[in-house]
A and B are shown apart, each in its own frame.
Chain A
């Protein structure tokens, strides 16, 4: 395979040879010859001939060159800095063309340069030296030397081998071998290659020599891709950007690209929708600045960043969810092996060039290309197998069974306040295996239902890529296949992707590049794993311990009624109707099927028009098509109505979206004395188009036929239909001015025009300015400092534009009234004075690189003001509208982020890299429209008996209790609950200001730790993240308590401060007082209705108003402490006093969210080259990988606070039933040919 390409491979070399030999040969100057001669004489020459150009190190030369011409540059390999070049006397020649000068100096030293986005990258020009060798007249004696050059992976082709003194050189062949004739037996050979550290070896008479080169990556990282794909020197940037390289994305073989970002970038908060490895991720950069509203208090989805793939904006991505199932999005689909790097533009200045869409930050994803690889063709193959296993299961008591009181068995009640399962009580139950009612003494299954239900999932990924890199162009083709078997039984996801990136130089001034990807995802079934509609919910809350083991429930059809009626876990007493679903029925007969086809790509033309001017034109698109089906078989509806009304359900829907972008950018680049100026201007046209359709057969006529035609009469409906188009035109410009290579000023501006209809058209201007000062260039700093930089940035960026008119429109009702069509009115009211929403961001920071760049530190402080958020203010319907779209207020986010990268140990065998990121921010409401909150505050409904307060000064993420307990306001009982005067239960205070704050779901800070240790062939990588602070409300606990599942419900203890008693005498239950023993009839009435011989009297702690009190305001003497006198105590059975009462009060189930997660551990072993080189394998690496291997929760609960969502992406901070934590471990194999 490889040899077939050798001709093609050598073609560019031949061409280059031709050019160099024929054209410049005549132009070899006397100066050049002098220089060669000089170096022949070594150091002697320096003192003798001053008038002839003396040599200096390239590093010194380039520093001067940079000061004069104000350009950015970088070395392809660090050792190039030491290469001696002639001193070109730059200061005298400053008026000349810098490139001519550069060539003049570099070429004689066997170097050349390449301009990548305005950055000069200095590199070896090996083939040229070959020519020099052939034409070098100075060689008198020839000594033949042969040898092999390898790296840790195997033989290296294309390595330049040269004799230091003479410059005689050659390159290694495909098997890493070379032969060279040198001038002396004591010659020093220099081995160099792009991406490797240059090595000098003294021959000392040897005629055969084997050399191992070590790879370098560090120096190229000085260049970073910024907005619109403009590459910039990191040194000059005045704002903070996060950057993640390919290797970090794939190290732990995470199939979800965004999940592998976690713990690696500062200023970014990632939230998983669930612990499922394929679940979606929400990204918030520098804090969510979206304000909750009464219509939508959930801010976790708002404020998602703009995603840009290969320069093409693809919009803000959330995820597709149907019926509570998370199907992910394009980002969770991207093949991580195809990603070259991810750049996160955090602040407004970084993203200002994206105008109206850049307000929440920008995540730029660049796919891999063939360029940058070694010349020729190469093949990489990766394969990984990972096992997913759930751990940290929620516990519940398994000692008590179904019922309301511990002396009474109730087979139809899924609450477990019933009798003790020690075999003393016998009762009727539905035997799922035998399918009939049996009586037995009740015992506990002792089965953790979740643990019994979940299976071990696995993920297999295979990826093969082929690249080619030649002088005229390059390509990379990648094929990937991923199969995931979920931890939920009967769930699966298959994914295949193809990615092709090519680049071709039409002429030396024109380059065309094309990148294209197609990804296909298919899930035959993906289960609902979040929220109250899931099987998980059923297992957690509706499966009393006395029921049979899940393995005995597998026959989920009722015999004789296969495909018609399920054999439920709990049946109604007629034995044919189901009260609680059999989880296996839900597993195999409630199917969520999903497929997504995704194509995205772009074509780009780069044209160097004239010396300082270049043009880039590109156009690209992203096209997504999604198909969704929900198939629910018969089995649930009561038998009596099943045949008349049907059963089951079928939903089918499609979404498609298309977004096209075209940009043209003209760049002017010129150095004027100490100034470097880069001005770019461009235009963008964007068009997007989407449509969706969903049809529902609400009930099916034939049991398991999933077609729309099978709908029962009148049960077919079009649930949603819609299309949307948008277009925008933009002009943008940027100017970057550098002074003396130490001061850099960037100014950008973008104007967006949006809207299609004349009345909707709107435009807005987004400016930004930033300044950075490299102090280490201005002042002479102590040697340990390599870079000291301060920066300031300001920007005004957008969060979308709207201009809509108020509309009273009609829609036709989905169903007709007999023969007559009917319509409904849909009215929306829009503030005619509405303003565009935008963010003003400010940031300041420092970067310090020291100890030869082995320690890099950065700090950024930022303030982000989101102005004029657009949302609906509620209006009374007397206006004719339920709300008005207007500007409701401002939110400010403030915080800082720290990054630290240290390389404490770097020896031949050891290399230790340590990275840490620290993120802290708080977002606060700073302004509210009077129309939105006339009283200064508004409460928005939230989940789990909580509410969200909207008021100036409120932090985003604050959660309040919905139902404050009514308490005594003053006097000696101040603070105690006032109990209801007829039942002694807690009461809810109607005063909204009594609502207590439960906490904020955002962390105080996030600390990410990243550790890579290499020892010889072994590499150990550790990634962990620690989140301090934040609270969440557990609805799990709410259900567990009210259902009698939680251990805390057995009897009163430290966990239930407001309740005294228990379900039986052993658990603290109290004896019921004698009938009529209280002095008040209210107490007698209450207690006598519940009293029994069983000792389960319990009471709520608090006071009640003396029943004889007749005044309006009770004083201290009018309150009676409940429980103080057993005869005058309002008692309740635990089911009521604990189960029902605690239900309403969320304060008791708010927990700390502080946690640490060991996100990634990988141990890689790279097989030494000597074992594999004979098989023409360059690299063979075997790695053991682990993800989320352990987790520590401060609360001690077996819940993942990061998955605290009440549904798919809704109600952040409120945790409903969700998967337990999942750990993944496996192995990965990488082979490069």
Chain B
């Protein structure tokens, strides 16, 4: 009996230690984690979509130097492939970053539809159009109707034709405008990082975006003008960005690398990365010729400017820019008796100036821009003869530095161009001057300086349409400085400003598109082949023309 008790006890004990409570299995937590998509709140989705999209766009405006170099806002004085469009010659994966955000947006739209959050649905739809238009604008035909449907067993999504994508995107923007107008749910002012809960601003964004797309497709869509006119004819129903604060942009927080301006010290702890990017000669010269007050805001004085005046040799001076950043410079005499300087004298393009830009199309690892000869002292990136960007761009955050998607000045320039081209009725000069004003205001230029600037004859629009378009393009080009993709897409479309043969670029052809990502060829070949077939010529290279340009 005793042994039986011992036996039984032993077995019970063993079995007892083995058992496991349901809580220990964490099945509740596991279920929660798997079903997390259903539990996210609208505000969190809103802040996330705004943040991710704005940062994604801003990257194309400055730190990713492919586009800014292509449109000559900047040149690289180290690893200079972007100076002559080298980045366009390889398959580009940029598409995939956009798709990752679109996945978030698609999920968010599904949730808002379940919850009936119409304003949020409209906002998300606007961003969805923005990102899909980015994809098709840069690649051509690409997946749209079959995109992001892996769970519906579409592992090889087919591409849609660009014309069909454009048609649908425009319709989606109309839908977004009506959804936002009809929606009644609250929009969190904290989580609406862009417009602090003002839903009319979101309508403005949707309609302004529509203007941008219509202008881009105006050569191909016969109805573009009518549609543009319809928007501006009824701004109560379809409001657009029309004032200086109407900007789809968010300021940086500046406390961590991931919420700071890329040029700032939190992201680029070493100044080298900052110093590799130099303002382009086209930009500096244009600003200087126009006495543009934005010049000292954006650009720093040369460290060791050239002078023809021997007396100035070694004389230093300091300067302070409109944002209070100070710089010291030292004049250096072009001493042709010095063999090192003499050897470089042919490269000295800018002398007796405080500001000089980097010549377009300089080859890679070229340290000698503007006759910089002391390469040993300058190191890999330290050219003393070309301006750097101003210290403003070295900040982690500033009221002037925004992650920008679209500003009110761009809308005015679109309207100015449309008016000149007769797509809409309206005074091109007014739109043009509004555009300039909004842009200068955005960079903190005083009203007085704006008036002085506008009063110059070099600003006034000439009589001929070609001249008008060129002037408008010049100002739009300046206004879009640091604004992402738009300048490139405009230059591709209008061939203005005509700076394509600047510097060493004579033999390089301006690229018209991105090559498809390498993975498309590997993992989605049939769709890829169809996409390439729609190009003219039907080759996946950067100079083939997509529907928009055909």
Residues of A within 8 A of B (CB): 506-507, 510, 512, 603, 605, 607, 617-619, 637-638, 641, 644-645, 660, 662, 685, 687, 689, 713-715, 723, 725, 727, 756-757, 805-813, 815, 817-825, 827, 829, 874-881, 884, 931, 934-935, 938
Contact = CB atoms under 8 A, between A and B. Distances in A.
B519 A874 contact: yes
Contact of A512 (B10, B17, B40, B157): B10
Contacts of B259: 815, 817-818
B270 A817 contact: no
Contact of B11 (A605, A827, A829): A605
B157 A603 contact: no
A810 B37 contact: yes
Interface of B: 3, 6-7, 10-11, 13-15, 17-18, 20, 24-27, 29-31, 33-37, 40, 43-45, 47-48, 51-52, 95-96, 99-100, 103-104, 106-107, 142-143, 146-151, 154-157, 190-191, 193, 253, 255-256, 258-259, 265-266, 269-270, 517, 519-520, 522-525
Nearest to A939: B522
Given A714-B256, A935-B522, A805 B265 contact: no
A723 B36 CA distance: 16
A563 B10 CA distance: 60
Nearest to B147: A878
B36 A809 contact: yes
A817 B46 CA distance: 12
B48 A757 contact: no
A413 B13 CA distance: 70
Contacts of A727: 20, 25
Given A619-B14, A687-B20, 19 more contacts: A506-B3, A510-B3, A510-B7, A660-B17, A756-B26, A757-B31, A808-B103, A809-B36, A817-B47, A818-B259, A823-B44, A829-B151, A877-B96, A877-B100, A878-B524, A879-B148, A880-B147, A881-B150, A934-B523
A803 B25 CA distance: 17
A506 B150 contact: no
B143 A825 contact: no
A810 B40 contact: yes
Contacts of B143: 878
Contacts of B24: 687, 689, 725
Contacts of A689: 24
B523 A874 contact: yes
A1074 to B, nearest CB: 19
22 contacts: A619-B14, A645-B265, A662-B17, A685-B20, A687-B20, A727-B20, A756-B30, A757-B30, A811-B36, A815-B256, A815-B259, A818-B193, A818-B259, A820-B43, A820-B51, A822-B51, A822-B52, A825-B103, A875-B155, A875-B523, A878-B148, A879-B154
Contacts of A815: 256, 258-259
A938 to B, nearest CB: 8
Contacts of B14: 603, 605, 617-619, 662
A821 B40 contact: no
Contacts of B3: 506-507, 510
A876 B47 contact: no
Given A617-B11, A725-B25, A660 B150 contact: no
Contact of A876 (B18, B256, B265, B523): B523
A829 B37 CA distance: 15
Contacts of B103: 808, 825, 827, 880
A822 B256 contact: no
B37 A818 contact: no
A935 B523 CA distance: 9
A876 B259 CA distance: 29
B10 A605 contact: yes
A821 B522 contact: no
Contact of A934 (B31, B34, B525): B525
B150 A884 contact: yes
A552 to B, nearest CB: 28
B148 A884 contact: no
B467 to A, nearest CB: 41
Contact of A641 (B11, B148, B269): B269
Contacts of A829: 150-151
Contacts of A810: 36-37, 40, 107
A641 B3 CA distance: 77
A820 B37 contact: no
Nearest to A874: B523
A757 B523 contact: no
B480 to A, nearest CB: 25
Contacts of B258: 815
Nearest to B270: A638
A521 B254 CA distance: 43
Contact of A879 (B26, B34, B150, B256): B150
Given A617-B14, A817-B47, A821-B47, A879 B149 contact: yes
Contacts of B37: 808-810
A876 B95 CA distance: 10
A818 B523 CA distance: 40
A931 B155 CA distance: 9
Interface pairs A-B: 6 shortest CB-CB: A662-B18, A879-B150, A880-B148, A714-B256, A820-B47, A809-B36
Nearest to A410: B376
A685 B40 contact: no
A826 to B, nearest CB: 9
A894 to B, nearest CB: 31
A875 B154 CA distance: 10
A811 B96 CA distance: 20
A579 B524 CA distance: 46
A660 B31 CA distance: 23
B368 to A, nearest CB: 12
B265 A884 contact: no
Nearest to A804: B34
Contacts of A812: 44
Contacts of B151: 806, 808, 829, 880
Contacts of A723: 26, 29
B124 to A, nearest CB: 13
A599 B523 CA distance: 48
Contact of B100 (A725, A823, A825): A825
A421 B243 CA distance: 70
Contacts of B100: 825, 877
A657 B470 CA distance: 69
A684 to B, nearest CB: 10
Contacts of B99: 877-878, 880
B155 A879 contact: yes
> In the complex, which of the residues A607, A713, A818, A827 has the most CB atoms of chain B within 10 Å of its own CB atom?
A818
Nearest to B256: A714
B104 A825 contact: yes
B48 A822 contact: yes
A876 B37 CA distance: 22
Contact of A820 (B190, B519, B520): B190
A177 to B, nearest CB: 40
Nearest to A638: B270
A507 B6 CA distance: 10
A805 B34 contact: yes
A660 B40 contact: no
Contacts of A884: 150, 155
Contacts of A808: 37, 103, 107, 151
Given A662-B18, A713-B255, A756 B147 contact: no
A823 B148 contact: no
Nearest to A932: B523
B299 to A, nearest CB: 23
Nearest to A759: B34
A546 to B, nearest CB: 19
A416 to B, nearest CB: 19
> In the complex, which of the residues A725, A808, A822, A876 has the most CB atoms of chain B within 10 Å of its own CB atom?
A876
Given A817-B259, A822-B48, A506 B95 contact: no
> In the complex, which of the residues A510, A806, A810, A878 has the most CB atoms of chain B within 10 Å of its own CB atom?
A878
Nearest to A879: B150
A1002 B172 CA distance: 58
